[in-house]
Amino acid sequence: MPERAVVITRPRAQADSLARAIASLGRRAVVLPLLEIAPLDDSSALQAALARLPSYALVAFVSPNAVDAAFAHLDAWPAGVPVGVVGEGSRLALARHGVTPANTTIHCPPDPANSDSEHLLASLDLAALRGKRVLIVRGESGRELMADTLRAAGALVETVAAYRRSVPRLDAALAAQLAVLLAQPNDWIITSSEALRGLASLVRELDPVDGPARLRAQHLIVPHTRIAETARALACNRITLTGSGDARLLAAIQSQE
C-alpha cells in the first residue's frame, strides 16, 4: 500500500510552498488543485476600480487570489485606504505586496477558526461606513452576503471581478490520480467549500457507485467552520478543523503521525 499522502487541493500557485513544508515534516505531499484560477479576458472594470482606490473607505478582498489579481495592476497601495480580508492567507498575500499593519489599517476576523465574511463584517464598525464607498474585490462569482450586509448598513458598495475560477474537467489524467488517492484513506487539505463541492462532483463522475463512500473514508483538514459544515452536508465526518493559516494546517498534519 502506498504511503499515506497529504493531498493539497489549493490552486497550484498557492500549493507549492505548503507542499514543501509538508515534505519537510517527512510526509508525502500530493498537489491536486481543485480550483483553477485564470485571469479575466477583460480586466478594464478591475483596472478602473483600482484607479479609484483613494475614494474608498474600505477595500475588501475575498481571497488571496483576489489580492494577487489586483496587485497585478498596482505598483503600491495608496496611503490611508483601509483593507478588509477574511483570513490569514489573504493577510500573507497583502504582506507579499508590501501591505502590512505597519502601513495600512487591515481588518480581519479575530478568530482564526472563523475566517469568513460573517466574522469580517462583525469586526467592522458598520455604522461608520454609512454613506461611504466600499469596494469588494472577488472572483467572477461568489457569496453576496458581504455586499448585501454592507448595503443594508448604508454603505455604497461596488463589487468587481478580479479573476475566474472553475473546477477542473475530469480528464484521463485527473481520473487516474483521483482513483489512486481514493483507493486508501489519505489526509486532504480543503481550503474552500467550492473546492470540496467540486471534489464531490468529480468523485461521483469518476465512480457513481463506490466513489462517495470512498470520499467519506478520507480525512479532511479544513481551516474554516463553513467548510466543515459543507463536509458534513456531504456526509463526510472525518474532519479536523484547524483555524486559518498554514501553521495551524501543519500542526494538524503533525498530529496525525
Q: Please report the pLDDT score of residue 37 as a whole number.
A: 87
- As given in the structure block, the three cell numbers for residue 48 are 478602473
Of residues 37, 39, 84, the one with CA closest to residue 195: 37
- State yes or no: pLDDT of 111 exceeds 80: no
- State yes or no: pLDDT of 45 exceeds 90: yes
% of the chain exceeding 90 in pLDDT: 68
- 134-139 mean pLDDT: 94
Q: Please report the pLDDT score of residue 185 as a whole number.
A: 94
pLDDT in tens, 158-168: 999 999 988 99
- 99-120 mean pLDDT: 84
User: Would you identify the CATH topology of the domain 38-165?
Assistant: Rossmann fold (3.40.50)
| Pairing of β 187-189 and β 219-222 | parallel
- 57-86 mean pLDDT: 94
- 107-117 mean pLDDT: 77
Q: What is the mean pLDDT of the chain?
A: 91
- 77-85 mean pLDDT: 95
- Sign of torsion, CA 241 178 30 90? negative
| Pairing of β 187-189 and β 156-166 | unpaired
Cα–Cα distances (Å) from 179 to 22, 211, 213, 235, in that order, read 22, 9, 13, 20
Q: Domain spanning 5-35+169-254 has what CATH number?
A: 3.40.50.10090
- 49-65 mean pLDDT: 95
Contacts for 230-234: CB closer than 8 Å, 24+ residues apart: 230/193, 230/196, 230/197, 231/190, 231/196, 234/196, 234/197, 234/200
Q: Please report the pLDDT score of residue 106 as a whole number.
A: 95
- 237-255 mean pLDDT: 87
Q: Please report the pLDDT score of residue 113 as a whole number.
A: 64
Min mean pLDDT across 96-105, 141-150, 218-227 is at 141-150
Q: Please report the pLDDT score of residue 116 as a whole number.
A: 75
pLDDT in tens, 219-238: 999 988 889 999 999 999 99
At 257, is the pLDDT very low, low, confident or very high (cuts 50, 70, 90)?
low
- State yes or no: pLDDT of 138 exceeds 80: yes
Q: Which residue has the higher pLDDT, 180 or 246?
A: 180
Secondary structure string (H, E, C) spanning the chain: CCCCEEEECCCHHHHHHHHHHHHHCCCEEEECCCCEEECCCCCHHHHHHHHCHHHCCEEEECCHHHHHHHHCCCCCCCCCCCEEECCHHHHHHHHHCCCCCCCCCEECCCCHHHCCHHHHHHHCCHHHHCCCEEEEEEECCCCCHHHHHHHHCCCEEEEEEEEEEECCCCCHHHHHHHHHHHCCCCEEECCCHHHHHHHHHHHHHHCCCCHHHHHHCCEEEECCHHHHHHHHHCCCCCEEECCCCHHHHHHHHHCCC
Of residues 99, 107, 160, the one with CA closest to residue 135: 160
CATH 3.40.50.10090 domain residues, the chain: 5-35+169-254, 38-165
Q: Please report the pLDDT score of residue 1 as a whole number.
A: 61
- As given in the structure block, the three cell numbers for residue 46 are 478591475
